[in-house]
Amino acid sequence: MNKKFLTLSLASVISMSCFAQIKTLVPNKDAIKFGQAINEKNAYSHLSVLASDAYEGRETGKKGAWMAADYIRNYFKSLGLKGPVNGEYFQKIDLSSFNLTQNVLTINGQTKEFLKDFYILPTSVSTAGYTISSNSIVFAGYGMNSDAYNDFAGQNVAGKIVMIIESGGPATGKDNALPNRLKYLAEQKAAGVLVINQRVDNLSAGLKNFILNGQTLMKSQENIDRLKSSTILPIVTIGSVIANEILAAGGTSLDSVRNKIKSTGKPASLEINIPVSASAQVTETPLRCENVLGYLEGTDPKLKKEVLVLTGHYDHIGITPDAKGDDKINNGADDDGSGTTGVLLMAKAFTDAKKAGKGSKRSILFMTVVGEEKGLWGSDWYSEHPIFPLENTIADLNTDMIGRTGEEYLGKPDSANYIYSIGSNMLSSDLGKLSEQVNATYTKMKLDYKYDDPKDPERIYYRSDHYNFAKHGIPIIFYYDGMLQQDYHKPGDEISKINFPLLAKRAKLTYFTAWELANRPNRPVVDMDGKGNPKK
């Protein structure tokens, strides 16, 4: 599930399923029969491959993710699912890596060493690159600008190279986050910025790796426009050694200016006569990146044009070079090898049913997406480039982390019989009721609606692939185990910690809900406003 970042009645937020009060369905014998393919043995056979060290944490745009995509495609093909992308199973995403091919900083005629004295992030370089130079540098303290404290008082920074300290500084009652300070400098048309950050003095292996690997971007129109922009502010991050070399030419030092600002509460800005130049270039390299789609056509001549989507993201975060201990691979067994496994298990159950003459009336798209950990890239790409019209998409059921016990349930009696159900009532009262009925009829799990709370500080509703369907008005349910601390985005998220009976039971809840959605006479009505309130 992605790190980055509705409204129900209080009763529905805090209550759990009370089966005696919920109208149950007539159990479907065919659904039960074919659902037997969703079991712990089959789950292990998939997850032991996807979460193995050989897959290197399945990072988007890298070898492990390609291996996972190939594995899923081959499995879909073996089941007899159709490749819906012009006969293929891959929906290719326009992804590129932008790597620095030139990074030069010269102070007073001396060329400085990259990744020792300074670094440049690829994100601060447009595709046109840049070269900046000046015979002087404006030192502007912390780069703050407010009525209470203004490092730029009496300074004209237009066309000049400015040096600022990244962190610290006096409280001004204004949001002084670095991006805001850099935005101000861009608005003032500074030629470039030297940002003093003492972490340069001892760069971590992780940061070095991040810089050397370049910037990986999905080429949405917004990103393309930004990359081509000539207004990107050139930013060079320097350490205390270079900062003191520059400040020495102005008769001061880093400690001195900090102490002066702290003791007087006034800026210590000055222009320093020392020549400086910097240049950077980036090269674009297209990367292999794809969603993996398997299509099961419905059997009803009228209903088969409608599509139910079942999603899980197969990518994870790859390798962490500076992770503590010997294990550097983030296997992502729960996140989201478990949800991807759930999609594969459901694909098996539904294709078995169709081969036996019990195929679903509506069509089903089994879709494992990539780039979720980068910012929901794969599902975003699909929602903007849908293979099937979004108006014909009746719902998305998303499984993202369904294999472990979250912190709130550790040691509790119901730790092996719960799932967080998120978003079922946000757009459709039909879907919310159906979810409760299916659970009461088949799986009898504890449905926890905690993360439907609009005050949820984790903003879980917005942090997985279902959201890119919900934002287009498509009803969704997100199934999630609540693991946010133990091993989350760490090498410890391994298959040995997966509860396979629980994974299978949660996948069955999703499957039985999908069975009902794919076979009911009517699709779920969209009668809610996206926050759980009835539409006006």
Min mean pLDDT across 18-27, 182-191, 510-519 is at: 18-27
Over 70: is that where the pLDDT of 110 sits?
A: yes
Min mean pLDDT across 91-100, 107-116, 119-128 is at: 119-128
Min mean pLDDT across 8-17, 64-73, 148-157, 196-205 is at: 8-17
Q: How does residue 5 score in pLDDT terms, banded at 50, 70 and 90?
A: low
Q: What is the pLDDT of residues 368-407, one digit of tens each?
A: 999 999 999 999 999 999 999 999 999 999 999 999 999 9
Residues 147, 153, 159: CA angle, nearest 5 degrees: 125
Closest alpha carbon to 368 in 320, 333, 400, 395: 400
Q: Are 100 and 280 in contact (CB under 8 A)?
A: yes
Q: How does residue 13 score in pLDDT terms, banded at 50, 70 and 90?
A: very low
How many beta carbons lie within 10 A of that of residue 75, not counting itself? 20
Distance CA 459, CA 453 (A): 9
Over 90: is that where the pLDDT of 57 sits?
A: yes
Q: What CATH number should be reported for the domain whose range is 10-93+296-519?
A: 3.40.630.10
What 3-state class would DSSP assign to 209? Answer: helix
Phi, psi of 17 (to 5 degrees): -60, 130
Average pLDDT over residues 461-473: 96
Q: How does residue 20 score in pLDDT terms, banded at 50, 70 and 90?
A: low
Q: How does residue 231 score in pLDDT terms, banded at 50, 70 and 90?
A: low
Q: What percent of the chain has pLDDT over 70?
A: 96
Give residue 288's pLDDT. 97
Q: Is 328 exposed, middle or buried (0-12, 13-18, 19+ CB in 10 A)?
A: middle
Give residue 221's pLDDT. 73
Contact partners, residue 470, CB within 8 Å, separation at least 6: 396, 423, 426, 427, 461, 476, 530
Give residue 7's pLDDT. 38
Give residue 16's pLDDT. 45
Give residue 173's pLDDT. 82
Contact partners, residue 325, CB within 8 Å, separation at least 6: 491
What is the secondary structure of 375-393 as a DSSP string?
Answer: HSHHHHHHHHS-SS-GGGE
CA 87 to chain centre: 29
DSSP H helices, 196-301, are 205-213, 221-228, 240-248, 254-264
Average pLDDT over residues 291-300: 98
Higher pLDDT, 268 or 323: 268
Whether this prediction's pTM lies above 0.85 is answered by yes
Over 60: is that where the pLDDT of 18 sits?
A: no
Mean predicted lDDT score pLDDT of the chain: 93
Q: Are 305 and 363 in contact (CB under 8 A)?
A: yes
| Class of the CATH domain delimited by 96-285 | alpha beta
Contact partners, residue 396, CB within 8 Å, separation at least 6: 308, 309, 310, 311, 465, 466, 469, 470, 474, 475, 476, 477
Q: What is the pLDDT of residues 478-535, one digit of tens each?
A: 999 999 989 999 999 999 999 999 999 999 999 999 999 999 999 999 999 988 899 9
Average pLDDT over residues 25-42: 98
Average pLDDT over residues 221-242: 83
Higher pLDDT, 4 or 409: 409
Task: Name the residue with tokens 């449905």.
Answer: 447
Which sequence spans correspond to the domains of the chain?
Answer: 10-93+296-519, 96-285
Over 50: is that where the pLDDT of 6 sits?
A: no
Give residue 172's pLDDT. 85
Common-topology check for domains 10-93+296-519 and 96-285: no
Q: Is 325 exposed, middle or buried (0-12, 13-18, 19+ CB in 10 A)?
A: exposed
